[in-house]
């Protein structure tokens, strides 16, 4: 959320930013917002003046009563009442205008970083760098659920009966592999100096609207009926929410946290065949990382975060690439974002396995996360990134480590978490 003073003083910049994000319908909203804000501030000034007049007159009543000037005191009382009635009407209008200002202010997109490529959608994202040589298997790689089924590691049919489409049972060595990846990711991030956290899996609406845009909320979040609670779509939401309405000491920054959680998503819309199975599902687990830092430090932390994911995947011998999100692919709160994509030998292309985002002070401004610095208080910057999100990551893992006989090799880094196993073999 942009500061209202910034919007007033930089209206053309804010409008141009809307155009860069291909949200031309919001250009007119900027003018509407500025006009509503002017009306709101006018009402506030008028209400303050009326309040001062009423207070001054109220003091006169006591003086007049003390002087036995009852008739004059009654006249002043009538003036005080009239001012009170006028003030009540002005305050009502002030409250209504404040709500309207906030509503529009919340949907005006954050100012994107100057380095962000301009493009309409994810088809115009820009490849930055590849890490590792993509594997070309000398045999046809089956669909990922077929690999899992041969390992007796998945049951989709039973899951459909129990919960519907978009759910799964992982079993045996595949389930163990899933847990091993999460445990390894936890230790990987701890070794990089991050504090391990298990957060709440439900959050209140004020946190939801503080960490994400309304469009994202509608497409992602599951609401708990009858309660002001939502199931988290990613632990980033409750992790950033941890600092709501806080004043942090500058000397204690940055906060570098890594969190485990299940994630729950609606995943609205139809998807292609490669997104069936366990690619796009309603429930999964994830190891996340977040940083709360000083504004001048966020670019450095942004690069550190996405490189953590790349380094993690490379320790498992999975080729990856980094992809910069273009302006039209950025959610409204994001300043800059880089996706990490893993190589799929089956599809002969990369697919997304993680996303790193710098949100500037947008979340901090919405949630009231301020820093007490040497030169006064300011809003913190927040960043987040996926370390790993199985079972989607399992697709890349299984395809890249699959052998022609259907067995799957276990990289050295995961063996301690798999009881020393070096290979998973098909079940008869």
Residue 237: how many CB atoms within 10 A of its CB? Answer: 29
Cα dihedral 339/343/348/349 (nearest 10)? 10
For the chain, the residue count is 428
Beta strands, E only, 278-396: 283-293, 320-324, 336-344, 349-358, 370-373, 376-379, 381-388
What backbone torsions phi and psi does residue 222 show, to the nearest 5 degrees? Answer: -95, 125
State residue 59's pLDDT score: 84
Residue ranges making up the domain that contains 63: 4-105
Instruction: List the CATH number of the domain containing 43.
Output: 1.10.287.40
As to burial, measured by CB atoms within 10 angstroms (0-12 exposed, 13-18 middle, 19+ buried), residue 425 is middle
Quick one: which of 30, 106, 117 has its CA closest to 328? Answer: 117
- Count of domains observed in the chain: 2
In a domain, 29, yes or no: yes
In a domain, 168, yes or no: yes
In a domain, 166, yes or no: yes
H or E element at residue 129: strand 126-131
In this predicted model, what pLDDT tens digit does every residue of 372-408 receive, in sequence order?
Answer: 999 899 999 999 999 999 888 999 999 999 999 999 9
128 and 94, same structural domain?
Answer: no
Question: Distance between CA atoms of 260 and 52, rounded to whole angstroms?
Answer: 54
H or E element at residue 217: helix 214-220
On whether the pTM is more than 0.85, the answer is yes
- Average pLDDT on 81-86 reads 88
As to burial, measured by CB atoms within 10 angstroms (0-12 exposed, 13-18 middle, 19+ buried), residue 55 is exposed
- Average pLDDT on 12-28 reads 97
247 and 162, same structural domain?
Answer: yes
144 and 48, same structural domain?
Answer: no
261 and 166, same structural domain?
Answer: yes
Question: Distance between CA atoms of 43 and 79, rounded to whole angstroms?
Answer: 20
As to burial, measured by CB atoms within 10 angstroms (0-12 exposed, 13-18 middle, 19+ buried), residue 184 is buried
In this predicted model, what pLDDT tens digit does every residue of 88-132 receive, in sequence order?
Answer: 999 999 999 999 999 999 999 999 999 999 999 999 999 999 999
In a domain, 254, yes or no: yes
* Percent of the chain surpassing pLDDT 70: 97
pLDDT band for position 84 (50/70/90)?
A: confident
Domain final position from 75, 105, 135: 105
Is residue 145 scored above 50 in pLDDT?
Answer: yes
In a domain, 174, yes or no: yes
Quick one: which of 147, 144, 131 has its CA closest to 347? Answer: 144
163 and 96, same structural domain?
Answer: no
Quick one: which of 206, 373, 189, 208 has its CA closest to 295? Answer: 373
- Average pLDDT on 124-145 reads 94
In a domain, 112, yes or no: no
In a domain, 116, yes or no: no
Distances (CA, A) of 17 to 1, 3, 327: 13, 15, 9
In this predicted model, what pLDDT tens digit does every residue of 264-315 receive, in sequence order?
Answer: 998 755 454 445 678 888 999 999 999 999 999 999 999 999 999 999 999 9
In a domain, 115, yes or no: no
Residue 127: how many CB atoms within 10 A of its CB? Answer: 11
Question: Distance between CA atoms of 138 and 166, rounded to whole angstroms?
Answer: 32
């Amino acid at each position: 959320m942009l500061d209202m003073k910034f919007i007033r003083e930089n209206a053309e910049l804010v409008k141009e930013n809307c155009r860069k994000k291909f949200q031309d319908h919001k250009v007119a909203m900027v003018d509407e917002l500025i006009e509503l804000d002017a009306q709101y501030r006018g009402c506030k000034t008028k209400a303050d003046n009326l309040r001062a007049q009423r207070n001054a007159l109220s003091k006169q009543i006591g003086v007049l009563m003390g002087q036995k000037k009852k008739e004059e005191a009654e006249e002043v009382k009538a003036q005080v009442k009239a001012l009170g009635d006028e003030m009540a009407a002005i305050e009502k209008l002030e409250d209504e205008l404040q709500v309207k200002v906030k509503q529009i202010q919340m949907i005006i997109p954050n100012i994107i970083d100057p380095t962000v490529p301009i493009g309409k959608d994810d088809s115009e994202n820009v490849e930055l760098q590849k890490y590792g040589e993509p594997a070309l298997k000398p045999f046809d790689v089956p669909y990922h659920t077929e690999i899992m089924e041969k390992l007796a590691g998945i049951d989709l049919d039973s899951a459909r009966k129990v919960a519907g489409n978009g759910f799964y049972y992982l079993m045996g060595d595949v389930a163990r592999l899933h847990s091993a990846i999460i445990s390894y990711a936890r230790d990987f991030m701890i070794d990089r100096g991050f504090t391990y956290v298990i957060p709440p899996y439900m959050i209140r609406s004020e946190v939801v609207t503080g960490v994400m845009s309304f469009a994202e909320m509608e497409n992602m979040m599951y609401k708990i009926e009858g309660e002001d609670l939502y199931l988290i779509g990613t632990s980033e939401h409750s992790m950033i929410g941890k600092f709501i309405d806080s004043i942090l000491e500058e000397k204690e920054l940055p906060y570098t946290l890594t969190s485990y959680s299940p994630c729950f998503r609606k995943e609205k819309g139809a998807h292609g065949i490669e997104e069936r199975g366990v690619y796009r599902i309603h429930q999964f687990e994830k190891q996340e990382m977040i940083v709360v830092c000083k504004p001048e430090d966020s670019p450095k932390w942004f690069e550190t975060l996405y490189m953590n994911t790349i380094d993690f995947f490379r320790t498992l011998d999975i080729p990856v690439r980094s992809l910069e999100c273009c302006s039209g692919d950025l959610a409204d709160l994001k300043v800059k974002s880089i996706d990490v994509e893993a190589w799929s030998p089956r599809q002969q292309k990369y697919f997304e396995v993680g996303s790193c985002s710098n949100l500037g002070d947008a979340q901090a401004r919405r949630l009231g996360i301020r820093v007490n610095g040497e030169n006064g208080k300011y809003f913190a910057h927040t960043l987040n990134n996926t370390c790993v999100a199985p079972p989607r990551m399992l697709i890349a893992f299984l395809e890249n480590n699959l052998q022609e006989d259907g067995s799957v090799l276990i990289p050295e880094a995961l063996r301690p978490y798999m009881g020393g196993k070096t290979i998973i073999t098909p079940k008869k």
